[in-house]
Chain A
């Protein structure tokens, strides 16, 4: 039974008790509070401990995990899980790929298990630390502010090792030079040649503890905290930095990162506290079972998909009862239709209206049910300084096109009584120089994108929008299989509503 612990003493508990033989031992250390009755794990929860929990309960902690690849994209869903996060781990490593609900569920199971075995009393409970408790463990005893956001704004610039940057050698598991192998080109490392022995996670306790006895409180993995970032935010707090942290701001003792509760990624784990029930507010109940939906893009994850990306970031899909996985396209093969056909479960694709009509004409049983763009983003651009005030003025002119834009140009010209034979199409490839330099007079382009590129470079543009010149089609159309549309109308409507909220 754990009670009456004194500051400075510690308690060793078998946190995966009675579950499997891989149970690991963890010290719990009293936090420096007046009562001294809240204890915090000296180490992060390990893969072995979490594995014991999953084996005992069947808890499903799989799905939607974002991991880092060697390509030049940011964290993406790549099919990894806490069991296989994309890099080697043993049972002694901190578990990653667990969201706030997974961590809460682990704590609830451990509480029940240890109460049943008599290791803790019915007046005690395992839970995630509050933001203030985590600060106490880190040595921040004087913080001011009612929310984590306010406390971060109030804090000074202390690091776990002092006020100088970068950290001393081998201080913790951060993004040292060792972390760069196999990373994207944009990956950053701590300047000055900082290095540690671990490219990704390290076994817990591999580095010296902080003055209060806590291991890896800085670095290794970010840790969930049981507190919203602000009083109104949907985002919760993670603290401590991780193996991928290279910037000073991420390694400040006071750093809080707002993170959505459903987030699973390869940098994020947790540790527990053991506290009296009287020092514990009710933990929100786990969400009801979520309906899994996969959305396959027809391009990379950028602002074209702002509604969906924002809904995912803000947790609005989960709020609506959906576990949505967004799958950006490979720009070398962006077509979504074949991938949707090959996928299992409730899968939604996004594609151009013409592409969907072609698929239907080929006998593919796909069903469009909404559109993101109510008009095509394709149009004709010319310099605002040119004399071409209407599309018909382009008769006899040189017009840059991608080879696949020829039909669209023909339609647009047809709307003003011209044909392709009355202009000179010039095939280009992502060329933003020929128009400003006068090599061509106009250019078929994605107005939402290439107009910005030209104007950012100092060349104001005149736009002849395709949808105002006969080229009528929907773009970025939501579709799914006919079978899914019949079987899941409510989930599809919910997906749209949450995406539109974004």
Chain B
């Protein structure tokens, strides 16, 4: 994400040769906003119990099955 244009160009060249790297770079800039939108910088990958509970289809039991093993580590 440090160099969005270069990253988009690399991925386009390597995996989607028919795609437009400028378009992919624009997409990558929007993606960057979603990576840490909930936890803030420095917490890539982090998940919160309350977000899982708010997810369509969630029940407390299902969410507990996700978090109990993670919290036990």
Q: Which residues of A contact B65 (CB under 8 A)?
A: 360
Q: In the complex, are the beta carbons of B18 and A186 less than 8 A apart?
A: yes
Query: Given contacts A360-B62, A368-B66, A377-B34, is CB(A496)–CB(B45) below 8 Å?
Result: yes
Q: Which residues of A contact B34 (CB under 8 A)?
A: 373-375, 377, 448, 475
> What is the bound-complex CA distance between A328 and B56, given in angstroms?
26
Distance to closest chain A CB from B56 (angstroms)? 5
**Does any Cβ of B come within 8 Å of A455's Cβ?**
yes
With an 8 Å Cβ cutoff, the count of chain A residues facing the other chain is 55
> What is the bound-complex CA distance between A485 and B31, given in angstroms?
27
Instruction: Encode contact with A along B16-40: 1 for CB under 8 Å, 0 otherwise.
Output: 1111101111111011001111110
Distance to closest chain B CB from A479 (angstroms)? 9
Q: In the complex, are the beta carbons of A374 and B69 less than 8 A apart?
A: no
Q: In the complex, are the beta carbons of A301 and B11 less than 8 A apart?
A: yes
Instruction: Encode contact with B along A348-368: 1 for CB under 8 Å, 0 otherwise.
Output: 000001100110110000011
Chain B residue, CB-CB nearest to A328:
B15
> What is the bound-complex CA distance between A482 and B65, given in angstroms?
10
Candidates B7, B15, B25; contact of A73 at CB < 8 Å? B15
With an 8 Å Cβ cutoff, the count of chain B residues facing the other chain is 45
Chain B residue, CB-CB nearest to A471:
B56
Instruction: Encode contact with B along A446-463: 1 for CB under 8 Å, 0 otherwise.
Output: 011101110110000000
Query: Given contacts A367-B66, A370-B45, is CB(A303)–CB(B7) below 8 Å?
Result: yes
Task: State the majority secondary structure of interface residues on B.
Answer: helix
Q: Which residues of B contact A482 (CB under 8 A)?
A: 69
A457-501 contacts to B, CB under 8 A, are 467, 472-475, 477-478, 482, 485-486, 489, 496, 500
Q: In the complex, are the beta carbons of A302 and B7 less than 8 A apart?
A: no
Q: In the complex, are the beta carbons of B44 and A485 less than 8 A apart?
A: no
Q: In the complex, are the beta carbons of B38 and A447 less than 8 A apart?
A: no
> What is the bound-complex CA distance between A477 and B55, given in angstroms?
13
Q: Which residues of B contact A360 (CB under 8 A)?
A: 62, 65-66
Q: Which residues of B contact A374 (CB under 8 A)?
A: 34-39, 46-47, 51
Q: In the complex, are the beta carbons of B16 and A302 less than 8 A apart?
A: yes
B51-69 contacts to A, CB under 8 A, are 51-52, 54-59, 62, 65-66, 69
Chain B residue, CB-CB nearest to A470:
B54
Q: In the complex, are the beta carbons of A313 and B14 less than 8 A apart?
A: yes
Q: In the complex, are the beta carbons of A309 and B56 less than 8 A apart?
A: no
Q: Which residues of B contact A473 (CB under 8 A)?
A: 51, 54-56
A50-91 contacts to B, CB under 8 A, are 72-75
> What is the bound-complex CA distance between A500 and B2, given in angstroms?
12
**Does any Cβ of B come within 8 Å of A279's Cβ?**
no
**Does any Cβ of B come within 8 Å of A371's Cβ?**
yes
Q: In the complex, are the beta carbons of A451 and B52 less than 8 A apart?
A: no
Distance to closest chain A CB from B49 (angstroms)? 12
Distance to closest chain A CB from B27 (angstroms)? 5
Query: Given contacts A73-B15, A374-B46, A478-B45, is CB(A448)–CB(B35) below 8 Å?
Result: no
Chain A residue, CB-CB nearest to B55:
A473
Candidates A313, A368, A474, A500; contact of B44 at CB < 8 Å? A500
**Does any Cβ of B come within 8 Å of A411's Cβ?**
yes
Chain B residue, CB-CB nearest to A360:
B62
Q: Which residues of A contact B26 (CB under 8 A)?
A: 452, 455-456
Q: In the complex, are the beta carbons of B62 and A449 less than 8 A apart?
A: no
Query: Given contacts A310-B10, A452-B27, A472-B51, is CB(A302)–CB(B70) below 8 Å?
Result: no
Q: Which residues of B contact A357 (CB under 8 A)?
A: 52, 55-58, 62
Distance to closest chain A CB from B29 (angstroms)? 9
Q: In the complex, are the beta carbons of B30 and A448 less than 8 A apart?
A: yes
Q: In the complex, are the beta carbons of B31 and A303 less than 8 A apart?
A: yes
Q: In the complex, are the beta carbons of A301 and B57 less than 8 A apart?
A: no
Q: In the complex, are the beta carbons of A375 and B37 less than 8 A apart?
A: yes
Chain A residue, CB-CB nearest to B58:
A357
> What is the bound-complex CA distance between A449 and B30, given in angstroms?
8
Residues of B at under 8 Å CB distance from A? 1, 7-8, 10-11, 14-20, 22-28, 30-31, 34-39, 44-47, 51-52, 54-59, 62, 65-66, 69-70, 73
Q: A360-B62, A373-B34, A448-B34 are in contact. List 20 more A-B contacts (CB 8 A).
A: A72-B18, A74-B14, A185-B18, A303-B28, A306-B1, A306-B31, A309-B14, A310-B10, A354-B55, A354-B57, A357-B62, A358-B57, A360-B65, A371-B47, A372-B45, A374-B35, A375-B38, A448-B27, A500-B44, A500-B45
Top-7 shortest CB links A-B: A370-B45, A374-B38, A472-B54, A301-B15, A452-B26, A473-B55, A448-B30
17 contacts between A and B (CB under 8 A): A73-B16, A186-B17, A302-B24, A303-B8, A303-B11, A309-B11, A354-B55, A368-B47, A370-B45, A373-B34, A374-B36, A377-B31, A448-B30, A452-B26, A456-B23, A467-B37, A473-B56
